[in-house]
Structure 1
Amino acid sequence: MAAANFERALALVLQHEGGYVDHPADPGGATNLGVTIGTLSGWLGRPATKAEVGALTKATVAPIYRKNYWDAVRGDDLPGGVDYCVFDFAVNSGQGRAIPSLQRAIGVADDGVIGPITLANVASRSSAQIIERICDDRMVFLRRLSTWPTFGKGWTKRVEGVRVEALAMAAAAALVASSRPVPAPAKPIPAPAITSPTQPVPTVKTGGLLAAIAALFKKAF
């Protein structure tokens, strides 16, 4: 998991999003580089025009993607590959779909909030399995949409592309993690020897005592 993954993930998303389109069957309306006129209006804080949508560049949409999607799904806190998989889903269908899909993939309550429980469960599971489950779940959702006959082919190509790239990113992240040197265990510090203070044994002179006892016996008898 790394903040640097955002640049890579964004480049991949923009490959799928393409340039300016205003398809009559697309409920998002005028869209450029994946940013709809509604999204741009929210970003600007006022109604955007189609001309402004058409004038968008990769540099101007990057902050929108970062705040509205990457940060919203906590991309910096997700493992490599999983971050891109969830990010692309959020861009395509909204974080309200992407986050619960992630949570279902790891077997926690799909409340739509990525908190400590979700992150801990993500970290304890195989990134590859999470990616596979999210992509499968995503396809189930897309096939149910009324616009599937129009956009289904493109969506399928996109999801399969995400699956391939996300799995490759996860494998690369695992390789980097496995190649990190394992720190040698610290040498145990020996406990100080416990010694009992010894008192000098006094030397008892017995010669004088015995002579005194002998004199007493002699005197008594």
Structure 2
Amino acid sequence: MSQQRINFQNVIAFYKKYTHQDKALNILADSLTPEQIANFYKYWYGDVDRADNVPRLSNPSYFTLAYTFTEEYEGGYVNHPNDPGGATNYGITQDTYNYWRQSKQLPVQHVAHISREEVLNIYYDNYWILGQCDKLGLPLNIVHFDTCVNFGVFGGITFLQEAVGEVEDGILGQRTYKAIKQYSARELAKKVCFARIHYRHYRVQQSPSQNVFLQGWLNRDNALINYIDRICTSYPCN
């Protein structure tokens, strides 16, 4: 879509039909370039300065950015004999799937039969919201989400606490939030990634049978660093 051909007054008239800002922002993010979104806001608010600032995406859009990465490394059915987590499908264990189905008053079934809709709901509820990723800035929220998925929510929070020098109690409370604010979201995201890499090597030293997974783990960590660098070229990162 050419930016010169967009009639922003018509676009505004269309999006004003949406009563929820999140829904309008998500549709914008999917259909326009960052420059076009910025100019949309310029016309919407009547503030010329906004033309140079891409607005923040809503939390649902942040979740989409986060899951887009994680999905690459949690896709498909896996039942490796050396994996202590047992069988998983799209990164979701049988125990997690059982608990989620029961919480919805649905009969338990094998994780191999999990639906796409269930996968997204579980990741959003059990990791994005439970891990409080929605309270963190871009790109830290992406890294924290993937860490919560890969290490569990408790593990994800302790990685974050280690990075900011707080007590690693797995509770994301006021003290940890205060410490987080002393860093830029991008700087802290990188610190967590490097801590993950360090932990991978330590884990293999402690349990040599896990060496079969090491290269895959490191590939994921390094890909995450590259991913957030790319994200920050297109979206406003703190």
Question: What is the alpha-carbon root mean square deviation over aligned residues?
Answer: 2.2
Match of 1:42 in 2: 99
Please report how far the alpha carbon of residue 78 of structure 1 lies from its aligned counterpart in structure 2 after TM superposition.
Answer: 0.3
Match of 2:68 in 1: 11
Match of 1:141 in 2: 199
Match of 1:184 in 2: none
> TM-score, with normalisation over the residues of structure 2?
0.66
Match of 2:229 in 1: 167
Quick one: distance in 2 between partners of 1:107 and 1:174? 26
Judged with a 3 Å threshold, the aligned counterparts in structure 2 of structure 1 residues 140 and 61 are, in CA distance, closer, same or farther, namely same
Judged with a 3 Å threshold, the aligned counterparts in structure 2 of structure 1 residues 44 and 138 are, in CA distance, closer, same or farther, namely same
> 1:74-123, CA deviations, whole angstroms, 9 ceiling, x for partnerless residues?
11110111001011011111112111111221233322111233223323
Does 2:129 align with 1:71? yes
Query: What does 1:1-221 align with in structure 2 at a 5 Å threshold?
Result: 2-3=58-59, 4-45=61-102, 48-49=108-109, 52-145=110-203, 146=207, 147-170=209-232, 172-174=234-236
Is the 1:28–1:38 contact (alpha carbons within 8 Å) kept by the matching residues of 2? no
Quick one: distance in 1 between partners of 2:112 and 2:180? 38
> TM-score, with normalisation over the residues of structure 1?
0.71
Q: Which is worse superposed, 101-110 or 70-79?
A: 101-110
Please report how far the alpha carbon of residue 48 of structure 1 lies from its aligned counterpart in structure 2 after TM superposition.
Answer: 4.3
Is the 1:103–1:109 contact (alpha carbons within 8 Å) kept by the matching residues of 2? yes
Match of 1:187 in 2: none
Judged with a 3 Å threshold, the aligned counterparts in structure 2 of structure 1 residues 103 and 173 are, in CA distance, closer, same or farther, namely farther
Is the 2:138–2:186 contact (alpha carbons within 8 Å) kept by the matching residues of 1? no
Quick one: distance in 2 between partners of 1:165 and 1:48? 36
Match of 2:50 in 1: none
Gap regions ≥5 residues in structure 1: 178-221
Is the 1:38–1:48 contact (alpha carbons within 8 Å) kept by the matching residues of 2? no
Quick one: distance in 1 between partners of 2:97 and 2:180? 32
Match of 2:53 in 1: none
Gap regions ≥5 residues in structure 2: 1-55
Is the 1:142–1:148 contact (alpha carbons within 8 Å) kept by the matching residues of 2? no
Is the 1:85–1:131 contact (alpha carbons within 8 Å) kept by the matching residues of 2? yes
Quick one: distance in 1 between partners of 2:71 and 2:116? 8
Is the 2:131–2:145 contact (alpha carbons within 8 Å) kept by the matching residues of 1? yes
Is the 1:132–1:163 contact (alpha carbons within 8 Å) kept by the matching residues of 2? yes
Please report how far the alpha carbon of residue 135 of structure 1 lies from its aligned counterpart in structure 2 after TM superposition.
Answer: 1.0
SS at match of 1:9: helix
Letter in 2 for 1:36: T
Bigger fraction of residues in helix: 2
Quick one: distance in 1 between partners of 2:108 and 2:93? 10
Please report how far the alpha carbon of residue 171 of structure 1 lies from its aligned counterpart in structure 2 after TM superposition.
Answer: 5.2
Larger Rg: 1
Q: Which is worse superposed, 32-41 or 164-173?
A: 164-173
Is the 2:82–2:210 contact (alpha carbons within 8 Å) kept by the matching residues of 1? no
> 1:183-210, CA deviations, whole angstroms, 9 ceiling, x for partnerless residues?
xxxxxxxxxxxxxxxxxxxxxxxxxxxx
Percent of aligned pairs sharing the same letter: 30
How many residues are treated as equivalent by the alignment?
174
